Structure 1
Amino acid sequence: MLNLTYRYRIYPGLDQEAQMLDWLEQCRRVYNYALAERKDWSNSRKCPVNACSIKQEYIIPAETPYPDYYKQQNALTKAKEEIPELKAVHSQVLQDALKRLDKAFKFRQERGFGFPRFKKFGQYRSFVFPQFKSNPVNGFEIKLPKIGAMPINLHRPIPEGFEVKQVRVVFKSSGWYAQLILQAHISIPDVMPHGEPIGIDLGLEKFLATSTGELIERPRFFVDLQSKLKWLQRKLRNKKKGSANYRKIQAKIRKLHEHIHNVRREFHFLTAHKLCDAAGMLFAEDLNLKMTSRGMLAKHCLDAAWGSFLDILKWVSWKRGVYFAKVDPNGTSQTCPQCGAHTGKKELSERVHHCDECGYVAARDVAAAQVVMQRGLVLVADGQSVKLPVEEDCLGVPMKQETSRAILGRPHRNL
């Protein structure tokens, strides 16, 4: 089973846009009410019996069960009989708002932190149609339940053999988009190690250094436009909250943030394709991204978005038949790639690697990328005994590395 997500621009009419905005608001209210219900139930169980608060306390009967997804879904059916605004919204769209909250709570239990927050006005920006009886895309139109047909910009065709399972409607500052979740009953084999290996070291002075000696500059996506963002935020502060001018400045701020995101994402995709053009195997460090997002360099680390780049690189590598793996990042800048000696801890200002044992001299980031490549080759060598040959699958049928590309195509920019 293979799932893909393609995003297209849609152009709803004025009535359809007003209807979808109302749906977003109703989903936001359902989400916030369900979150408040769960939060009140949890707070009512936190107070010790002999130490209640003097001012106020959450009091919910002890026999009241926890309001999980199924209980809140049953309560939603009763609420639709009393609140006419909820009847206008597709039933499965409202249920998805409860599913989204339930996933947030389960994700919090896995991580141990990150309690879900209430959504302010305008922060709930998407809703989902979870299933369709037939293909909603007909030509250059898409038909959504209870909303109707509207033009869609199919800038790339839907691959043959795939059917539309879900549609997520997203509202951005640049307009409305439809994310089509496509599904096909096919299996694509994992990419096996082959070709030229390249190690990657990510950094701030240079966005990326490869084991072949190539250095890629780091664009300052957010930092270069930070002054414009501050100027718009100062203008917003002087406007009356809720006025027409206030909403106009808000729209400009959202549009600027979206522009920064789009430019960064485009750079990540182009860099990933450039690496795949020159390699058959790519190895990168398995970074602790939570630690890099703290400290005095947190803004620059978040601006570089290493985690997003590694996810994109993994997807592009799989799509183009390039083997990708992550290695242990500990000590990559303290190990000599020539002789393997430990050179000691380096300060951030020390940008040249010099080994006292063998005399090897190289740029610090390039030397670290060479160590990453060596560790990746060790992982490949250790796993050769359990992996299948490149030419055959588990049934002995010859396979090619171009299998995924033949199905999905190889667009470089429209991803």
Structure 2
Amino acid sequence: MRTAYQYKLRPTTKQAIDIDRWLSMLCAQYNYLLADRFDWYERNRSPINACPLVCHIPELRDNPDYYSQKKTLPQLKKTHPWYGEIYSQVLQDIVKRVKVTFDRFLKGDSNGKRSGRPRFKSRDRYRTFTYPQMKDGCLQGNLITLPMFGIVKVLKHRPIPDGFKIKTASVTKKADGYYLTLSLEDTTVPNIKPDFNADSITGIDLGLKEFLTTSEGDVVSIPQHYRKSQKRLRAIQKRISRRKKGSNRRKKAIKQVAKQHKKVADKRKDFHFKTVNNLLKKYDVVVHEDLNVKGLSRSMLAKSVHDAGWSSFLSILSTKAENAGLLVIAVNPSGTSLDCSSCGVKVPKKLHERWHSCLCGCSLDRDHNAAIVIKNRAVGHPVLKAHRVSVRVASPPGEAIAGFGEKPTLYCTQSV
């Protein structure tokens, strides 16, 4: 199992200057290697419908792949001796970054989805360098030894779990200082809990009026961190527009905006982790909608969707549940707000209508009804079958479902 812990660094003034210089040199090398790839791409591509009958075919270049670009690094240190102060594996990681970026542009990722044309990075946008390998015992107390850089102080706010080994280390420059990200590996794989409590399965409905509503009727309010900080952001952004481009006062104002945005992001992330922690303490299985968050973020509700951070929340929920040996299941989101949780009939509702009322007598909050429908859709799910967890359809509070006679219950069978 792999996990990542992030700590804040406390470098000396000289070390902070060295980090900035390393980032500047690595940025220049990244842009050079990317330009070399683009040069090969432009020379070797020739659309058939654009080629004249008589044409001169230029001499084709060999593809600058990962290994050929890696072989240029010793020569780089001869022609540019100042690159010799950077650890060799950090330079090799730049070649890997360029390879991954360009391959996604040409071939796509594992799902075949291609990204846009890679962009050259300015010094302000290149903020991280990585050590692909770290020695055992590199972190002693609140000090970490970075090869060819030195010993740097770390604010170790939480200990590394027993049995985990440090595999990689990344140094990142952010608006409020420098951070160290350690990638940790544990050879043991968490197993799914062999027994599930029948009362610890819930469905959650994510929303913009309330952040989420569970099938038991519990509600988590939405904090709206970005909207609450808009007044402060507006004031700082006005300072930027009024100051001369390139001046030190403008740079200070830009840094203030960056710090404010980071503060909002940190608050949102902290809220997500605490919400996930509360859910997984109470339930063994969490069922949610398989939302197209990217599509929703392009709608008229884009600002509210981004402020809620659904995608980040669901990612954290899945990761934390897997580490704890619990289950998170995504179901089809189609019609969850319209279907009646009691009889299954579609009850058309506009977005502003927040109460669900059906002819069968089911009357409850719209989000609560949707959460129950989401939970009911987990019935017979392949993941639950694989772990021998059986779920019967849950009815709304105080209601009976047609065909059952009385309020059904949930049950589970212990897996062997």
Instruction: Specify if TM > 0.5.
Output: yes
Among 342, 350, 353, which residue is 2:353 paired with? 350
Question: Is the 2:190–2:322 Cα contact (8 Å) retained in structure 1?
Answer: no
Q: Find the counterpart in structure 1 of residue 38 from structure 2.
A: 39
Q: Deviations over 1:108-167 (max 9, x none)?
A: 412223322221221111111111233211122111111111221221111222221111
SS in 1 for 2:380: helix
Q: Find the counterpart in structure 1 of residue 140 from structure 2.
A: 138
Taking a change above 3 Å as real, the CA distance of residues 362 and 36 of structure 1, as seen in their structure-2 partners, is same
In the TM superposition, 1:106-121 aligns within 5 A as 106-108=103-105, 109-110=108-109, 111-121=113-123
SS in 2 for 1:206: coil
Q: Find the counterpart in structure 2 of residue 247 from structure 1.
A: 251
Residue 330 of structure 1 and its aligned partner are, at CA, apart by: 1.4
Q: Find the counterpart in structure 2 of residue 212 from structure 1.
A: 216
Give the structure-1-normalised TM-score: 0.86
Q: Find the counterpart in structure 1 of residue 152 from structure 2.
A: 150
Residue 7 of structure 1 and its aligned partner are, at CA, apart by: 1.2
Among 283, 288, 291, which residue is 1:284 paired with? 288
Taking a change above 3 Å as real, the CA distance of residues 320 and 120 of structure 1, as seen in their structure-2 partners, is same
Q: How many residues align?
A: 384
Taking a change above 3 Å as real, the CA distance of residues 305 and 192 of structure 1, as seen in their structure-2 partners, is farther
Q: For structure 1, which segment, 179-188 or 190-199, has the greater mean C-alpha deviation from structure 2 after superposition? A: 190-199
Residue 46 of structure 1 and its aligned partner are, at CA, apart by: 4.7
Residue 180 of structure 1 and its aligned partner are, at CA, apart by: 1.3
Amino acid across the alignment from 1:83: H
Q: Deviations over 1:280-303 (max 9, x none)?
A: 211111111221110211121111
SS in 2 for 1:236: helix
Question: Is the 2:43–2:60 Cα contact (8 Å) retained in structure 1?
Answer: no
Residue 252 of structure 1 and its aligned partner are, at CA, apart by: 0.8
Q: Find the counterpart in structure 1 of residue 270 from structure 2.
A: 266
Q: Find the counterpart in structure 2 of residue 368 from structure 1.
A: 370
Structure 2 gap ranges (5+): 391-412
Question: Is the 1:142–1:152 Cα contact (8 Å) retained in structure 2?
Answer: yes
Question: Is the 1:193–1:281 Cα contact (8 Å) retained in structure 2?
Answer: no
Among 231, 238, 248, which residue is 2:235 paired with? 231
Residue 322 of structure 1 and its aligned partner are, at CA, apart by: 3.3
SS in 2 for 1:378: coil
Amino acid across the alignment from 2:355: V
1:66 aligns with 2:70: no
Taking a change above 3 Å as real, the CA distance of residues 259 and 381 of structure 1, as seen in their structure-2 partners, is closer
Q: 1:274, 1:119 → 2: CA distance?
A: 40
Question: Is the 1:135–1:163 Cα contact (8 Å) retained in structure 2?
Answer: no
Q: 2:57, 2:26 → 1: CA distance?
A: 26
Q: 1:360, 1:12 → 2: CA distance?
A: 62
Identity, % of aligned positions? 36
Residue 316 of structure 1 and its aligned partner are, at CA, apart by: 2.7
Higher relative contact order, structure no. (Cα contacts within 8 Å, ≥ 6 residues apart): 1
Q: 1:265, 1:246 → 2: CA distance?
A: 29
1:221 aligns with 2:225: yes
SS in 1 for 2:211: strand
Question: Is the 2:388–2:414 Cα contact (8 Å) retained in structure 1?
Answer: no
Taking a change above 3 Å as real, the CA distance of residues 384 and 188 of structure 1, as seen in their structure-2 partners, is closer
Give the structure-2-normalised TM-score: 0.85
Q: Find the counterpart in structure 1 of residue 130 from structure 2.
A: 128
Superposed CA RMSD in Å reads 2.5
